A and B are shown apart, each in its own frame.
Chain A
Amino acid sequence: MKSHARLAAAFLKQEKRAHWHDQALWYVREKRDRMAASVPDWEALRETAQAIKRHALANLPRYLEEFEQNAAARGAIVHYALDPAEHNRIVLEVLKSKNARLVAKSKSMLSEECGLNEFLERNGVEVVETDLAERIIQLAGERPSHIVLPSIHIRKEEVGEIFHEHLGTEKGESDPTRLTRAARTHLREKFLAAQAGISGVNFAVAETGAVVICTNEGNADLGNSLPDLYIAVMGVEKVIPKTKDLGVFLRLLSRSATGQPISAYTSHLLGPRPGQEMHIVIVDNGRSEILQRERFYKAAFCIRCGACLNTCPVYRRSGGHSYNYVIPGPIGTILAMHRDLKKYKDMPYASTLCGSCTAVCPVKIDIHRQIVLWRNEVVEAGHLGRAKSAALKTATLGMKRTRLFRLGGWTVRKLLRSLPPFVFNNRLTIWGRSRDLPKMPAQSFRAEYRAHSKSKTNLSESGLNREGRS
């Protein structure tokens, strides 16, 4: 598995494309800013959202049970799954019980997390992604590079090529409207033919048993109403206590995600439609463990809006596929580390710790603080790597002793001042590959300051200006 640094460097080789990727996402971030500013109490809304999540997840068993009872009372069949294997098995069994061989699926990051599509395909079930971007990804044989904008890394010309190959559109067609129309016609056939629909869930309301789904294309609505079998899959953290809490979350979600006041479709499913069978699969897959970790529990508050991806200077310049976990970017990092510290050890280092992720997060997860805490976990587990560890240990040694520190600084300055610049401003020094090193001064601050103080008697009374070479 290649590291983030290597994958990102490969992504940046296509400079024009990288700029386009950065600008496309920044455009979404700016839309988000305008929408956030349109809500007078935006910051208070974020506080409230976090408080609701904190309360709901601190009382998770109670709210899950309440949700289960109310959903069941409305005719849904509720399942619990501990891990992806159990989740996938349940979904397959339900599909088999109705002899469903074609599934119209709406976007779900949980199903990506569980590898549901591959599992179903292996078991003879055809899965058609019905969200346009997800369908593009599926036809291209890729995985999403963003949790809300899964095909943000693919340009419209490339979509044209993919559709030409799979949907028979004209060669060279890149007009978004015509391409979308072709996808629509293609997907209508699938909707009508599918024996089952599967979708993710944005919110599960405990007091009513409602499943709330937000989309812009209405695809989830076709998927959950046309077929006679509908399966909603959700992580345990999706449960919120009351309908009125939606007044907080729905105002935050689309504004943060895409800069829209609200998604085009917000569907509240209160049980199956007449003649339909509805299942809800509630998955834990490590979430309750996250909630038990003092430094990291807030990661479970995430409502999957993707705002932290759009704002992240590193994500924008490295693309979702440079992160090896299914969820990329800042939030992906702090979720991946719970899965496999060793496998994803480079992810926490793919950050400048600028803190913009924390500042945009609608539920105020302390993302950048968690990222640096995860770096510490990586170090403690011995995964930083020998060269980096040794360099930092040496630096610490030098900095612990003031004399050594001064000697070190003096040596580096002398060395760099006496060598011609091409010796260090080159590919061999990592810094010098693309940047010049600073010009070295003749002496340190402490030496200059000492001379300055001597000439100013009023400042030399402190007695702290000891003798010594700098």
Chain B
Amino acid sequence: MFLGRVGLFIPCYIDQVYPRVGMATVRLLEKLGVSFEFPEDQTCCGQPQFNSGCFKDAAKLAGKMLRIFKDYDWVVCPSGSCTGMVREYYELLLERDKESDDFKHLVSHTFELCEFLIDILKVETIDGSFPHKVGLHQSCHGLRGLGLGVPSEQVLPGRIGKVRRLLESLRGIEIVNTGRSDECCGFGGTFSVFEGTVSSFIGRDRIKDYEQAGAEVIVSYDVSCLMHLDGLIRRDKKPLKVLHIAEVLDGAAS
């Protein structure tokens, strides 16, 4: 399948703190036969600034993103919230570019990794095994913003989320059911620092949900939520592990 130029968009915290997630994404795409480039000039999509209300600061980074990625046919990113930032909110930041073809192209061709696999590559299953009990953490921006899952608030009978479909195709995997299927983990970007007490309280509740459901590992398409949950898990010395979905799919795929 000829895709044209595919640009890999690696969020700043994955680049600097979670290289293993970026590398898992690289290996997974290679296994699927996708050739891509990693434009080295990229830094951050501007979400921390945007999230805090500093739109002018965020706009500078959004402008940089547009310059870097405008010439790619597809942009793929292993994060729901950073993808959501580009797709949903760049229009609020780049008012002057909003009507340009470059802008429209970037916004409509930036995909989160799982949806790129399913919607563009038409990958329905991953051949591999992951014999573990998994708590699927459906991070909010990907869940409700990008539609990677089926939000529990909405009445959409018969639908199965994209991420769940990919995971369920692995042999031996068991996705546990938590009582609250898609409760927020409490991270919330700068909220985790501005409101640290509430943020941690919500996170501990979420971890308890996964524990009680018997999960061994919490899997998400957003490492930011996992960083928060893992920080709590390690502080409380819980036996749970966290993994990005790229790590699971890459490790399972032969």
Q: When the two chains form their complex, are residues B153 and A33 in contact, meaning their CB atoms are under 8 A apart?
A: yes
Q: When the two chains form their complex, are residues A39 and B60 in contact, meaning their CB atoms are under 8 A apart?
A: no
Assembly CA distance A350 to B40 (angstroms): 36
CB of B189 within 8 Å of the partner chain: yes
What is the distance, in angstroms, from A269's C-beta to the closest C-beta of chain B? Answer: 33
Contact partner of A440 (CB less than 8 A), chosen from B17, B44, B234, is B17
On chain A, the residues within 8 Å of B254 by CB distance are: none
Assembly CA distance A313 to B225 (angstroms): 15
**8 Å CB interface, B27-68 against A:** 30, 35, 37-44, 46, 48-55, 57-58, 60-61, 64
Q: When the two chains form their complex, are residues B152 and A33 in contact, meaning their CB atoms are under 8 A apart?
A: yes
CB of A445 within 8 Å of the partner chain: yes
Contact partner of B188 (CB less than 8 A), chosen from A354, A388, A435, A464, is A354
CB of B154 within 8 Å of the partner chain: yes
Known: A352-B202, A399-B12, A400-B64. A5 touches B235 (CB 8 A): no
What is the distance, in angstroms, from B163's C-beta to the closest C-beta of chain A? Answer: 17
Chain B 165-199: CB-based contact to A (< 8 A → 1; otherwise 0) = 00000000000000010011011111111111111
Chain B 140-160: CB-based contact to A (< 8 A → 1; otherwise 0) = 110011000001111111000
Assembly CA distance A392 to B51 (angstroms): 11
Assembly CA distance A18 to B201 (angstroms): 10
Chain A 353-367: CB-based contact to B (< 8 A → 1; otherwise 0) = 111101110000000
CB of B22 within 8 Å of the partner chain: yes
CB of B4 within 8 Å of the partner chain: no
CB of B19 within 8 Å of the partner chain: yes
Contact partner of B183 (CB less than 8 A), chosen from A313, A348, A437, A440, is A313
Contact partner of A360 (CB less than 8 A), chosen from B153, B192, B193, B195, is B153
On chain A, the residues within 8 Å of B234 by CB distance are: 435-436
Q: When the two chains form their complex, are residues B44 and A5 in contact, meaning their CB atoms are under 8 A apart?
A: no
What is the distance, in angstroms, from A10's C-beta to the closest C-beta of chain B? Answer: 9
What is the distance, in angstroms, from A53's C-beta to the closest C-beta of chain B? Answer: 19
The interface-forming segment of A83-91, A209-217, A273-281, A426-434 is: A426-434
What is the distance, in angstroms, from B167's C-beta to the closest C-beta of chain A? Answer: 21
What is the distance, in angstroms, from B40's C-beta to the closest C-beta of chain A? Answer: 5
Majority-rule SS of B interface residues:
helix
Please name the residue on chain B nearest to A447 by beta carbon: B19
What is the distance, in angstroms, from A86's C-beta to the closest C-beta of chain B? Answer: 34
**8 Å CB interface, A431-468 against B:** 431, 433-438, 440-441, 443-449, 452, 456, 458-459, 462, 464-466, 468
CB of A208 within 8 Å of the partner chain: no
Assembly CA distance A434 to B231 (angstroms): 8
Q: When the two chains form their complex, are residues B193 and A468 in contact, meaning their CB atoms are under 8 A apart?
A: no
Assembly CA distance A96 to B60 (angstroms): 61
**8 Å CB interface, A311-363 against B:** 311, 313-314, 317-318, 348-356, 358-360
Known: A8-B195, A313-B186, A358-B144. A372 touches B51 (CB 8 A): yes
What is the distance, in angstroms, from B32's C-beta to the closest C-beta of chain A? Answer: 14
Majority-rule SS of A interface residues:
helix
Q: When the two chains form their complex, are residues A388 and B52 in contact, meaning their CB atoms are under 8 A apart?
A: yes
Q: When the two chains form their complex, are residues B49 and A392 in contact, meaning their CB atoms are under 8 A apart?
A: yes
Q: When the two chains form their complex, are residues B200 and A435 in contact, meaning their CB atoms are under 8 A apart?
A: yes
> Is the interface on chain A under 10, 10 to 19, 20 to 34, or 35 or more residues?
35 or more
**8 Å CB interface, A382-423 against B:** 384, 388-389, 392-393, 395-396, 399-400, 402, 405, 409, 412-413
CB of B16 within 8 Å of the partner chain: yes
On chain B, the residues within 8 Å of A436 by CB distance are: 230-231, 234-235
> Most B CB atoms within 10 A — which of A313, A444, A466?
A313
> Most A CB atoms within 10 A — which of B22, B155, B192?
B155
CB of A292 within 8 Å of the partner chain: no
Please name the residue on chain B nearest to A5 by beta carbon: B195
Q: When the two chains form their complex, are residues A405 and B12 in contact, meaning their CB atoms are under 8 A apart?
A: yes
Assembly CA distance A447 to B191 (angstroms): 30
**8 Å CB interface, A4-57 against B:** 4-5, 8-9, 12, 18-19, 22, 26, 33, 36-37, 39, 42-43
Q: When the two chains form their complex, are residues B144 and A354 in contact, meaning their CB atoms are under 8 A apart?
A: yes
On chain B, the residues within 8 Å of A4 by CB distance are: 195
Assembly CA distance A433 to B46 (angstroms): 26
On chain A, the residues within 8 Å of B192 by CB distance are: 431
Q: When the two chains form their complex, are residues B16 and A444 in contact, meaning their CB atoms are under 8 A apart?
A: yes
Q: When the two chains form their complex, are residues B140 and A434 in contact, meaning their CB atoms are under 8 A apart?
A: no
Q: When the two chains form their complex, are residues B198 and A5 in contact, meaning their CB atoms are under 8 A apart?
A: yes
Q: When the two chains form their complex, are residues B140 and A445 in contact, meaning their CB atoms are under 8 A apart?
A: no
Assembly CA distance A457 to B145 (angstroms): 38
On chain B, the residues within 8 Å of A405 by CB distance are: 12, 43-44
Q: When the two chains form their complex, are residues B43 and A396 in contact, meaning their CB atoms are under 8 A apart?
A: no
Known: A425-B235, A437-B231. A36 touches B43 (CB 8 A): no
Q: When the two chains form their complex, are residues B52 and A379 in contact, meaning their CB atoms are under 8 A apart?
A: yes
> Most A CB atoms within 10 A — which of B21, B39, B154?
B154
Known contacts A355-B141, A400-B43, A462-B37; 16 further A-B pairs (Cβ under 8 A):
A22-B205, A37-B155, A352-B187, A353-B51, A356-B151, A356-B184, A372-B51, A378-B53, A379-B52, A399-B12, A409-B12, A436-B234, A444-B16, A459-B30, A464-B37, A464-B38
B interface residues (Cβ-Cβ under 8 A, vs A): 10, 12, 14-23, 26, 30, 35, 37-44, 46, 48-55, 57-58, 60-61, 64, 89, 92, 140-141, 144-145, 151-157, 180, 183-184, 186-203, 205, 227-228, 230-232, 234-235
| 9 A–B contacts, CB within 8 A, in A order | A318-B198, A352-B186, A352-B199, A352-B202, A353-B189, A378-B53, A399-B61, A435-B203, A445-B10
A interface residues (Cβ-Cβ under 8 A, vs B): 4-5, 8-9, 12, 18-19, 22, 26, 33, 36-37, 39, 42-43, 311, 313-314, 317-318, 348-356, 358-360, 372-379, 384, 388-389, 392-393, 395-396, 399-400, 402, 405, 409, 412-413, 425, 430-431, 433-438, 440-441, 443-449, 452, 456, 458-459, 462, 464-466, 468
3 tightest A-B CB contacts, nearest first: A375-B53, A435-B231, A352-B188
